[in-house]
Amino acid sequence: MDSFPVANARSVVAQAKAGDPAGFEALYRAFESPVYNLCRRICRTTEDAEDVLQETFLEVCRSIGQYREDGSLWGWIRTIAASKALMRLRRNKYRDTDELYDEVVGKAREDHHLRMDLEAALERLPEVSRAVVWLHDVEGYTHEEIAGMMGKTTSFSKSQLARAHGRLRRWLGEERVA
Amino acid sequence: MTHLTVEQLLALREPGVEPGDRAAREHLDVCDICRDEFDRLHQRVARLRALPTLQPARDRWPAVQARLVAERRALKLQRVRRIAFASLAAAASVALAVSVGGVRGTGPAAATTEISRAMERSRALEEAIDFYNPEARVLDGRTARVAQEIEDRIAVLDHELELLDVTPDASREARQLQLWRERVGLLDALVGVHVTRASNVGL
C-alpha cells in the first residue's frame, strides 16, 4: 500500500470486497487526493478531472474483488485513474501531434524570452505531452507502460517526453548556453 | 563539439545499469555543458515531483455513492423480477395440479388464487417502479436510504419465498400468501417513496 498508506488497509479492502459502503468510502477518502491530482495533471479542466475522479472510484468499487492483495493498492488504483484520464483525453479528441499543436496554438505562444513557473509551463503543454511527462517523470511509469495505456508505440512516448522537456526548458528559461 | 540532444539526455536517465548509449555516457563525462544540462533535467524532474498536490473543489463521494446505490438497486430489481417470474410459474403449476387433481376443498384453491393475485399485484407495482425509472433520477440521501431499507426487506422476503419453493410443507401456501402480501405492501411503499420522495412513508 506504499505511498498512500490506509489505516487498517487489509480490513478496509476486506470490507470493500464484501460490498460494505463504509469500506468503499474509506478507500475513497484515502485515495481521493492522489487520484484527483493525477487526473488534474492529465486532464485539461477541473471539471474533466472531477468526472474522472468519480469514474475512477466507481470502477474501484465495482472491481475491488479483482484486486490481488499481493500488489500495491495505490498502484492498482493509480492505473485505473490513469487509464480513465487518458480515455477522457481521447474522448475529447486531444491534439495528437505537436505539429497540430503548433499550428493551433500558434508560434506566437512559443515566446523564447518568456519565463514562467513550472506549474504554468506544465499546464501549457499539449495534453498528450503533459500526460507523458506526468506519468513518466512523476508517477514513474515506463515508456512501455505508457505506450500500452495510450495505445501507441514506445517511440511515441519517448518522443513526446523529449519534446515536452524541450518546451519546458525553453519556457522556464533554462536553455543551454553553447 | 556536438552536444547531447534532449532525447539522449533523457535516455541516460532511464533505469538500468548502463542507460543510454555508450558514446553519450562518455560524452557526458567530458562535457561540462551537457553535464549542466543533465543536472538541470534532474532538477526539473525533481521540481515536477515537488509540485503541490491539487485538491478537488468539491467532495465527489456523495455522487459516487449515489451511483453505486442506483446500480445495486437495479441489480436487486432484476433479481426480484427473476424470482417473481419463477414463483408465478410455480404457482401456475400448483393451480394446474389442483384443477387436474380435483378440488380438495375450498381452502387451498382459495389460497392459490390469492397468491396469484398478490403476484400479479406485485408485478404491476414493479412495472410502475420501472416506469418511474428511479435509476435515472437523482435521489436525496434520505430517500435513497428509505428506498434501500425497503428493498433490503423485499430481498429478505424473496429469500424466504425461495426457501418455501424448495421446502415441502403442509402450511406452505398459507405462508406464501402471507409473504406475497407483505411483498405487495413493501412494493406499494417503495412506489410511494419514489413518488412522494419519502415524505409520507412512515418508516
The answer to which of B22-31, B32-41, B84-93 has the lowest mean pLDDT is: B84-93
B31 CB burial (10 A radius; 0-12, 13-18, 19+): middle
Query: Is B42 an 8 Å CB contact of chain A?
Result: no
Rounded average pLDDT over A153-178: 89
B121 CB burial (10 A radius; 0-12, 13-18, 19+): middle
- The secondary structure of A32-70 as a DSSP string is HHHHHHHHHHHSSSHHHHHHHHHHHHHHHHHHGGG--TT
- pLDDT for residue B202: 40
- pLDDT for residue B100: 53
CA distance B94 to B188: 26
The answer to which of A5-9, A60-64, B153-157 has the lowest mean pLDDT is: A5-9
Computed over every residue of chain A, the mean pLDDT equals: 86
The ipTM is 0.85
Q: How confident is the model at residue B15 (pLDDT cuts 50, 70, 90)?
A: confident
Cell of B162: 425461495
- pLDDT for residue A97: 52
Q: Identify the closest residue of chain A to B31 by CA–CA distance.
A: A178
Q: How confident is the model at residue B141 (pLDDT cuts 50, 70, 90)?
A: confident
Q: Is the pLDDT of residue B16 over 80?
A: no
Partners of residue A142 in chain B, C-beta under 8 Å = 15
- From residue A77, alpha-carbon distances to A42, A53, A131, B89 in Å are 16, 11, 17, 45
Give the distance from residue A107's alpha carbon to the nearest chain B alpha carbon, in angstroms: 21
Q: Is the pLDDT of residue A72 over 80?
A: yes
Q: Which residue has the cell 485515495?
A: A31
Which amino acid, A118? L
Partners of residue B11 in chain A, C-beta under 8 Å = 158
Instruction: Give the tens place of pLDDT for each residue, A119-135.
Output: 999 999 999 999 999 99
- pLDDT for residue B66: 92
Q: Do B6 and A165 touch (CB under 8 A)?
A: yes
Q: Is the pLDDT of residue A99 over 60?
A: no
Q: How confident is the model at residue A108 (pLDDT cuts 50, 70, 90)?
A: very low
Between A44 and B148, name the one with better pLDDT: A44
Residue B77 near residue B133, CB atoms below 8 Å: no
Q: Identify the closest residue of chain B to A28 by CA–CA distance.
A: B61
Computed over every residue of chain B, the mean pLDDT equals: 79
Residue A118 near residue B48, CB atoms below 8 Å: yes
Rounded average pLDDT over A85-105: 68
Task: Express as a percent the part of chain B with pLDDT over 70.
Answer: 73
Give the distance from residue B175's alpha carbon to the nearest chain A alpha carbon, in angstroms: 31
Give the distance from residue B59's alpha carbon to the nearest chain A alpha carbon, in angstroms: 9
- pLDDT for residue B201: 39
A148 CB burial (10 A radius; 0-12, 13-18, 19+): middle
Q: Do B7 and A168 touch (CB under 8 A)?
A: no
Q: Do A118 and B44 touch (CB under 8 A)?
A: yes
- pLDDT for residue B198: 41
Task: Express as a percent the part of chain A with pLDDT over 90.
Answer: 71
- pLDDT for residue A37: 97
Give the distance from residue A16's alpha carbon to the nearest chain B alpha carbon, in angstroms: 12
Q: Is the pLDDT of residue B173 over 50?
A: yes
Q: Identify the closest residue of chain B to A57 by CA–CA distance.
A: B64
Q: Is the pLDDT of residue B165 over 80?
A: no
Other CB atoms within a 10 A radius of the CB of residue A110 amount to 12
Partners of residue B54 in chain A, C-beta under 8 Å = 36-37, 40-41, 49
